[in-house]
A and B are shown apart, each in its own frame.
Chain A
Amino acid sequence: MEEKLGNHQEPITEPRIVSAEPIPLNELNERAKRCRRSIVDMVHKAGAGHPGGSLSAIDLLVGLYSTQMSVSPDDANNGDRDRFVMSKGHASPAVYSILHEMGFLSQSDLDGFRTMGSVCQGHVDMKWTNGVDFSAGSLGMGLSFGLGCAFAARLNEQEFHTWVMIGDGETQEGQIWEAFMAASYHDIQNLHVIVDRNRIQNDDFVDVQMEIGDIANKINSFGWSVKEIDGHNMEHVVDALSWAANTPGPNAIVAHTVKGKGVSFMEDNPSFHGKAPTDEELSQALEELA
């Protein structure tokens, strides 16, 4: 794979956690809290970005990268690595914060979020960032892309897993259902979807814009195994990810989450879908996430 376009501000020197042993839940929760601080800080510095859907997704990403994903910044393009496709690409701060934890990005990379030449583009982009497997930004496309990766794994007789995170609002795109239908028809293995069911989209609550109803049942009716969990309960998250990794056929985790989780004034608040906190709001947020 070719060199990425993004410029790292400086070599990555921060220590990273590499553990062969299962990481205790309290450590995972601490990691998620650090990521949350990174998220609000990044968006505040940039003066723009999407904190709400990043904060709803981050517990899931911490669980995923800490317990399932076989990836390494030292060998970022290894063809056998697991893939993570962030279809809801506006939640890029969540991805950058976990890639920072994993040693793919430095603090100064995060500080450059949304600035010209930065490795941290507004929406996650495989062309710019090591550790990013998909160029997102236009909703509804990621599951199809992940399906393509899973097809490649089958054709190449590779064992890697492909994890795709989609938003709940995103399921309003017809292409998502084209992909759900195709995956089960082709009996695709090692493809897992995580739905960040935070109930809010750009303009308003999902049930105001276009209610999607019982999303777990709908996905199940397309031939997928589905598990519903509380997406902020780390024990449930880790168990569900393990269930997905070990369950044959395509499968999905519908994670019930709270948009803006962890910052009181952002929680369940549609106005923080795509808005940066003010200086005062940042202070309060960091206090709450201390």
Chain B
Amino acid sequence: MSAPSTGGASRDGYGAALLEIAHDSRVVVLEADLGKSTKSCFFREKYPERTISLGIAEQNMMLVAAGLASCGKVPFASTFAIFSERAFEQVRNGIARPGLTVHICGSHGGIHTGTDGSSAQSIEDLALYRTIPGMTVMHPCDDLSARHLTTALLNHDSPSYTRTARNKTPRMYDEDTVNSLEIGKGSILRSGSNVAIIANGVMVHKAMKAAEDLSTRGIDATVVDMHTLKPLDTELLDRLATECSGIVTVEDHSVIAGLGSAVAEHLSQTNPTKIKMLGVQDRFGESGGSEELLEMVGLTSEAIIAASESLV
């Protein structure tokens, strides 16, 4: 696919998407004092009458969104990923259980969030939301894909959680290629038959870099941007398991119950495959630069290369 170029952070894509879907009067945006951070602020500026400020009160925000959805609105509620977790039971009992179509966006996900330190670095959000029946869970890798997938939520008839990142990463798509993305379908960025690297979010560009380096060493890697964790593209996983000698999963998230687990849960039942899981190894982060922190927890393209080589 297209060569990486500099773009915005995935949270910018979320903000842009809200403006794109604003023509639908059902769209309502809910904020909990973090609109400037999640990027819902652009919607607020243009459509104040359809933006509801709930203050620093995430639990209330989730149920207000549920009430709106029960009356035919399509609410988009955003806050930091970590603070959405405070309202986990509200999402479970108040939104997902009655099957209300509320779209939640948690920004500043992952250790990549950086200098704010461990209190802000959600490394368990995707795991939590993945356990809720009927919930769609996504983690796009750049601004354009976040914009495209958020826009697609307008016609998505189940509750969803989307994690976006605070910081910029290289673009994996351009204005054309991004249009091929579909919720629930993994996106193959590069094809190779030796090993498959399945990544999401800010780790996708590192997976691509690793694959390029691997090719100079004679190893051909497939790279998948698995932007949707649930529903998981199991058809693609089964194909990769038969085509490649092993799978490396890479995520800026706990290795417990995240992308790697989701892949393993499926393949252990259908196509038992060697899997190396790269992610945050059951620990908290600390303050630091994004790259420093990823290096500290072993989320580097070198680590992806080493894991891939061990499977070939």
Contact = CB atoms under 8 A, between A and B. Distances in A.
Interface residues of A, number: 35
* Chain B interface main SS type: helix
Contacts of B49: 155
* Chain A interface main SS type: helix
B231 interface: no
B198 to A, nearest CB: 34
Nearest to B71: A152
A126 B67 CA distance: 12
Given A145-B70, A175-B60, A182-B57, 17 more contacts: A79-B71, A134-B70, A138-B89, A141-B90, A144-B60, A144-B63, A144-B90, A145-B63, A147-B67, A148-B65, A151-B28, A151-B52, A152-B68, A155-B49, A156-B72, A174-B59, A175-B59
A137 B93 CA distance: 8
Interface residues of B, number: 30
Given A135-B97, A178-B57, A182-B57, A152 B72 contact: yes
Given A127-B99, A148-B65, A182-B60, A141 B93 contact: yes
Interface string B70-90: 111101000000000000011
Nearest to A145: B67
B94 interface: yes
A135 B59 contact: no
B218 interface: no
Nearest to A2: B99
A182 B54 CA distance: 6
A155 B72 CA distance: 11
8 contacts: A135-B94, A137-B93, A138-B89, A148-B63, A148-B67, A148-B69, A181-B55, A182-B54
Contacts of B61: 144
A158 B115 CA distance: 47
Contact of B72 (A79, A85, A144, A178): A79
Nearest to A162: B67
Interface of A: 2, 79, 83, 85, 125-127, 133-135, 137-138, 140-142, 144-153, 155-156, 174-175, 178-179, 181-182, 185-186
Contacts of A155: 28, 49-50, 73
A181 B63 CA distance: 14
B97 A179 contact: no
Contacts of A181: 55, 57
Contacts of A138: 89, 93-94
Contacts of B97: 125, 127, 135
A145 B66 contact: yes
Contacts of A175: 57, 59-60, 63, 90
Given A141-B93, A178-B57, A148 B99 contact: no
